[in-house]
Structure 1
Amino acid sequence: MQTIYWLLVALMVVGIIGAVVPAIPGASLILVAIVIWGFVRGSFAAISVPLVVTAVVLLLSIGVDFLAAYLGAKRAGASKWGQIGAIVGFIIGFLGLLPALPVGGPLLGMLLGPLLGAIIAEFLYRRDFFLAVKAGVGIVVGTVVGNLIQGLLAIAAVVVFLVTTWPQVFGS
């Protein structure tokens, strides 16, 4: 039983990392681990609090993701074109040519792609390089701040799980 518990905690740690690093599932991995623990224990009553907390964290994470990127873009004066460029840049950065870079691979592509995509799209829309760079940086900063907030929410969900289930596994 303890081995399964530690494997699920390890899965939750990957979920915490995924809450911060794009393209890795975050809170959803934590939620899956909690549901698996409910099946292993044969009772969902013992995990009802962490299950609800993690479901709320998952919903908040989705909202934070969009809100942080939107606020970063708005504060920097980005248009919808800059936001679309950032999304396209992320996809190209992750799947396209940037993973072939000698250092950094897909992670560097996920960081540079949105920045370059937002700058290019803003420049094509506004024809002002300074505003395009400002918008691109604003979108990326908003996204990074959002990812950090998601990481904190994921840590909180795992802590709630550990606090509520630790006595079940290891006694009081």
Structure 2
Amino acid sequence: MQIIYWLLVAVMLLGVIGSVVPAIPGSSLILGAIIIWGIISSSFAAIKIPLIVTVIVLLLSIGVDFLAGYIGAKKAGASKWGQIGAFVGLFLGFFGLLPTLPFGGPLLGVLLGPLLGAIIGEYIYQRDLGKAVKAGIGITVGTLIGNLLQGILAVSAVVVFIWTTWTQVYGG
């Protein structure tokens, strides 16, 4: 039982990483691991609190994801073109399709892709490189802050799970 418990905690830690790194499922992995633990331990009463906390974290993460990028974009004066460019840059960066990134893999692409995409999108829209760079930085900073907040929320869900189920695995 302990091996399964720690395997599920490892899946949850992967979920914490996924809440910070785009394209890896974050809170949904944590939620899935908690549900699996409830099924395996035959004690859904023991996971009621972590389940509620994780569902709240999942909903908050979705809200933070949208709001952080949006607020960063608005503060920097970005248009929809910059936001679309950031999304395209994220996609291209994650799959290593940026011609300027033959090294670094998807993690570097995930960091630089949205920045370059937002700058290019804003430049196409405004034809002002200074405003485009400012908007690109705003979108990227907003997204990074959002990812950090999602990571904190995900860690809290894992801590609550371990806190509430520890005695179920290791006794009093």
Aligned to 1:47: 47
**Gapped regions of structure 1 (runs ≥ 5):** none
Aligned residues: 172
Identity rate, percent: 72
* Alpha-carbon shift at residue 99 of structure 1 (Å): 8.8
Contact 2:68 2:146 in 1 (8 A): yes
Structure with higher helix content: 1
CA deviation digits over 1:84-112, x for unaligned, max 9? 11011111111252399443111111111
- Equivalent position of 1:81 in the other structure: 81
Q: Unpaired runs of 5+ in structure 2?
A: none
Partner of 1:133: 133
2:111 alignment partner AA:
L
Give yes or no for contact 2:68–2:142 (8 Å, CA) kept in 1: yes
Q: Is the 8 A contact 1:99 1:105 kept in 2?
A: no
TM-score, reference length from structure 1: 0.96
Write the distance in 2 (CA, Å) between the matches of 1:43 and 1:115: 46
The CA distance in 2 between the partners of 1:12 and 1:98, in whole Å, is: 31
TM-score (norm 2): 0.96
SS at match of 2:24: coil
Asked if 2 retains the 8 angstrom alpha-carbon contact of 1:79 and 1:122, the reply is yes
8 Å Cα contact 2:81-2:121 kept in structure 1: yes
